[in-house]
Structures are given as structure tokens and as C-alpha cells.
Amino acid sequence: MIGEARITAAERGCRNMAFVVADAESLPFATGTFDRVTCRIAPHHFPDLSAAVGEMLRVTKPGGLAGIIDSVVPDDPALDAFLNGVEKVRDPTHVRSYRIEEWNIVLEQAGLFLLHVSRAWKQHPFDEWVARAGQPPDLQREVESMFLTAFPRAREYFRVRIENGRVLSYSDEKGIFVGRKQ
């Protein structure tokens, strides 16, 4: 990802950027370094979400903004367990997708005054999505089988599209959180 970011920045003539690989729970920046901190589609991989959010806000200046987008699960425990189970089989680095309510608690406890919270659906073409994790074909078929044999409410909620016994796509929700550091 860093390589791609460097290429994109160079193509767009961006020169005021630095690219750093770091642990989300221990960022190598001084306290209050940034006016804005963003994180997109990564927190479900963090072993300690609270610590990572704490670090994001530590490096944000007082009054600065933080924006996070990540996969979220519905409040229904069965749907939560289904999607988190599928994700753990597809990608062993997946820790947990959280409910909006869980996110709100973590963000507020870390000192973020929430200005905006919303959800947006994202459709995933199945073959591309399942291959992205780099798992072998037998594991990819296992993930497809999980969708094909899912209980009806899960297939309906996650908008699983099946044609000729194959999963074409499914959809999940992304939580969008924007707030000001208190």
C-alpha cells in the first residue's frame, strides 16, 4: 500500500507527504502533530481498537478533526457473528468489525466529540473480494460456501446475490465517523 501511495502522490505532484509504516497502537509522531487524522477500512484489523483510537487522537491537535471509515456490523448478534466469522475465514488478519454503538463508545471515551456518524452500503463483487485476501482457492471456496449455506436472514441482510450456484456479490455497511478532539 505504501508503494501505491508513493506512486499516486508522485503522479499527482504531491511533495509535502511522508509515508511511514507503523503500528496503529504506537504511532511514531509527537503528541498534537496533526490538524487532521484519518483512517479508512483498517480498524477491523487492529488488535486493540481503543489503543489505536487513543493514538490517533494523541497525535491530533486539540480542536483537530479525526475521520474514520470502517466496516460495521448490525446490532443483531447472529448477523454480527456471521459476517465476522466469514471475514476471519477470508482474511486471518481480521480481528472484528464493530457495531456503530461500540464505535461511538470507543470514540467518545477517547475524547472525540462526534460531529457526524452515518452508514453507507458497499457492494463487493465476490470473486474480486475473496481473492484480495490472497488465500488459496480451497479457502476461497469455503468462504463462498459460507454465503451459499447462510441462514436466510443473513443472505437477505447482506444482499447476497447468487446465480447458477455461485455467489456474484454481497454487500456490507461502512461506518463513517467524524469528530473533533476535545
Q: Where are the domains of the chain?
A: 2-181
pLDDT at 98: 98
CA-nearest of 156, 146, 181 to 61 is 181
Burial of 164 (0-12, 13-18, 19+ CB in 10 A): exposed
CA-nearest of 115, 100, 83, 93 to 45 is 93
pLDDT average per 10 residues of sequence, the chain (182 residues):
90 91 95 96 97 98 98 98 98 97 98 98 98 96 98 98 98 98 93
pLDDT at 1: 81
Q: What is the CATH number of domain 2-181?
A: 3.40.50.150
pTM: 0.92
pLDDT at 17: 86
pLDDT at 95: 98
Q: How far apart are CA 121 and CA 123, in angstroms?
A: 7
